A and B are shown apart, each in its own frame.
Chain A
Amino acid sequence: MAKKKNTEEPAAQKPAGGLFTYAPAPESPAAAGDIAASYGHFIGGEFVDSSGSEALKTVNPATEQVLAEFARGTEEDVDRAVAAARKAFADWSALPGSERAKYLFRIARIIQERSRELAVLESIDNGKPIRETRDVDLPLVAAHFFYYAGWADKLDHAGFGPNPKPLGVAGQVIPWNFPLLMLAWKIAPALATGNTVVLKPAETTPLTALRFAEICRQAGLPKGVVNIVTGDGRTGAALTAHPDVNKVAFTGSTPVGRAIAKQVAGTRKKLSLELGGKAANIVFDDAPIDQAVEGIVNGIFFNQGHVCCAGSRLLVQESVQDELLAALKHRMGTLRVGDPLDKNTDIGAINSAEQLARITALAEAGEAEGAERWSPACELPGAGFWFRPTVFTGVSQAHRIAQEEIFGPVLSVLTFRTPAEAVEKANNTPYGLSAGIWTEKGSRILWMANRLRAGVVWANTFNKFDPTSPFGGYKESGYGREGGRHGLEAYLDV
């Protein structure tokens, strides 16, 4: 297989202006290790070519340079992968939990050891800043494997009765916003409970999943326990439709989730869906303002807003609106947009041209509908896909930007007068994935949390993740939980 070094130029760093300008502090792209010119699938413990000839390309969204080609998985490829997983299931599920745990602990440790390589590779393939992959994604990925490794030999005590059984072969389809983290959320609990998996990474971000396949080999994981089939939506559909798959787990958009639910309906497959969101971040007048501003920024600009639980609707009490928005805009002026591999970059590249077009269209709709648009002045690099952090004020519930998931660095600001109105507005969405509450009053946090129809409610923080905490949605944000003890249930026959 031909190898090529990754030698692209970093995109221009936004000039900070002022006296103290940070010089470029680029992480080396070479740290990502060798990226092959083309990839096949990982099936039965081997890297194999696709049965088809169609190849897709993955590009660096910060430069638009093609990083590698990868196979578009065919139905035949999926069939081979499911067969390999089925074959491996008997032995894997028969292993004592303590033995399965050893493999998971080993994988977690290898991820830690190779975290720099994985962080750089993720940043290159996804466009997210290295600061985030290094400080958030990779630590969480390792933590997830460590956490579920701990459960593998304690399933009798997980609250599902004695000796709960695995389901069999899990078909898992994951999105591009947290490629490796979503892989960890899917694979770690599945393996801990004794299932085998076929995972399809997103079509714009397959590289870290393929690198994870190497880690499975390095860890000596039995062949066929983890299979990776790359491809696009057709590949994903073939996987979720496959008759020998016992469990379907999907994270992605609500329309696709709905299609999968229809497809799976009437079969014996167990299904968990983690879909879109339009979370309300609710700021009361007694909130710790400086930290609330940080929470708002972290809620919507973290990962370029490509977060299903992003706090994309800011609900602010009218009495503090001016003060809060002034502080928020000041803070947004310090956000550094640019080269994802620069260690000082806060906001990286939008993942794809397609996503950029969608964000742009929705932002234009916001303006057309009469909301007021504001972005800090910041230079954007010439090549690549970029979008300035943007805030819309004067937004009302009827506007599209208050209803539809934008999945980009765009915040819609609405106001409320009373706690009851805040709850009403926050719940007035087809989604229900997450919500945030900012107030110094503990009793109000509890009152609100009991009334908010959202799977996760953060209090005086936002976008905090931990493997011990279950995550999942209400309504059109999906069903089933990932993480924590609850996350085991999705992979057990209970």
Chain B
Amino acid sequence: MYFDLLRLALPETIVAVTALAVLALGLARGRGAGVCSAVAAAGLLFATAAVLMLPEQANLFGEMLVITPLTSLFKIICLALAFFTVILARGGNTPNHRGEYLALLLLATIGLMLLVGSEELLMIFIGLELTGLSLYVMAGFDKAAPRSAEAGLKYFLFGSTASAFTLFGLSLVYGMCGTTGLSAIGQKLTGGPVLPLLAAGIVMTLIGFAFKIAAAPFHLWAPDTYQGAPIPSAAFIASGSKVASFVVLGKIVLVGFGPAHGSAAWHAMIGGWAPALAALAALSIVIGNLVALAQSNVRRLLAYSAVAHSGYTLLGLIAGSREGFAATLFYTTAYAFTLIGAFGVVALVRRHTGGDDLAHFSALWSRSPLLAGCMTIFMLSLAGLPPLAGFFGKFYLFGATLRAGGNQGLLWLVALALLGSFVSLYYYLAVLKAIFVDNPEFGTPDPESLPSIKLDFLERTSLSLLGLAVIVLGTFPDGLVSLIAASLPPLR
């Protein structure tokens, strides 16, 4: 039994051991901080290898630890995102105490892996808290910067309140069903009406996740955290935490709550929870896109665009079908890699120009063609232009949504999302305009004489890899699509 546990939880164990090792290395004085990064990266690679060696299917302690092709795939994705965050956290991007910082990052990664790999409410909550607590500290890690403290505090206050709601919601659900396993809950709820108590439980649970994915109106922490936190923290909050949250949210609503039809099923929505999610999605798309129009700081702009993207991504869950879930997972994966790349560019620009307002990006094309090119790819993918990942993701997502609605009942939501992405092109183009068109106001008249930004090998490679990944996910999406489709269990 315990040997099984060790065998099946080997990836998590490896990451935990690495976290401790990195912490110890960081505390031992006199060692260069580079060693911590190298050890952390190596640990993540080992963990990835361990995930690949896991059995195809396993289930431990009544769904507390579940291994399916899907969980393995998303554990690898979370590990990859953590890996890029470790690279991002090298050099001048993090404050002192890199060992502690990386240890927290690895602990958050464990939380994500637990989230992805569990179908049981208690374990999910533990995963949420482990991730959350690590990320709160990471957001406020830069002790010298008041903005970082503000980011950490805001994230913590909103996050802990949301957790309280979730916990309360989960306890209500447990009270009604008498079990914490998701599939058992699904069986209990099959065909039944949505009682007021259950409705309260569902709504409260959703609040917690809406906070995690930064869906409006629970997004208020996002702009300040994205802007104020150290960049690797912001990148990880925006990518890793979001991917895992979408995986779990999908499982909860589709496996757990999915069968609860109820009287609230209007406009061709399948479950009683769908209208609540649809309201969140619509609000996120409208608020995120409109507010992003007015931003002049790139990180803040990315935060509001993240709100809008959460809205799009929710569409697949609202569809309630297997295809919709697959599309949501594809979209959120593509989004996460795009965003971590974008944050990478922002970090490098910030290090060389001292800020991350739009003005700091001016004439970037001449200072570093690679950074400019990568940022173009990331921004255009976020805007949903071909041949990039965001375009295909949107097509997949909107197709699945429209198909699931039956008689195109969700057409209004798809139309709203497309209108939103039309609006979004303006602010993504504003970033590109700063990079390619604008001339710096302070500097020399000739932008080509500006000092170029030197990147080291690792930065160049990882950014190029991410840019390439975004292109490949857009031009040859079939690999990931069929991988996700094949690994999704059939929904009831």
**Do A and B originate from a single complex?**
no
A contact set with B: CB distance below 8 Å: none
